[in-house]
A = this chain, B = another copy of it.
């Protein structure tokens, strides 16, 4: 009932799902793209760049931060967010493995 039954799946399946879920909203996709694009660690501009309320952006940032995909450091009155490359790489290899699993299997049936 609204709760995913994580206990019947493998750790890897749950982890893939968690990362994928984080990418499952265009605002978070956009945030991550911005953080990659802006070389310097600009932050609060995300609210201006993306057309969502400050509270909403902050909420999405929190999710990405909880997952470890980004990290933030306070700089005066503003907070500097950027990609956590280590965890990004981890996610990338996890998802890539999943996405590449068709290479071995070329037969099709329907």
Residues of A within 8 A of B (CB): 4-6, 8-9, 13-14, 16-18, 20-30, 32-33, 36-37, 39-41, 50-52, 71-73, 80-83, 85, 88-89, 91-92, 95-96, 98-102, 105, 107-110
List the number of copies, as a whole number: 2
Structural contact, B105 and A39, CB atoms closer than 8 A:
yes
Q: Which chain B residue lies CB-closest to A39?
A: B107
Structural contact, A92 and B81, CB atoms closer than 8 A:
no
Q: How far is the CB of A47 from chain B (nearest CB, A)?
A: 12
Besides the known contacts A73-B110, A81-B110, 18 further A-B residue pairs in the complex with CB atoms under 8 A apart: A8-B51, A8-B52, A9-B30, A16-B23, A20-B20, A20-B22, A21-B21, A21-B24, A29-B98, A36-B101, A39-B105, A41-B110, A83-B102, A85-B102, A92-B99, A95-B95, A95-B99, A96-B96
Q: Which chain B residue lies CB-closest to A79?
A: B110
Residues in B with CB closer than 8 Å to A80 are 109-110
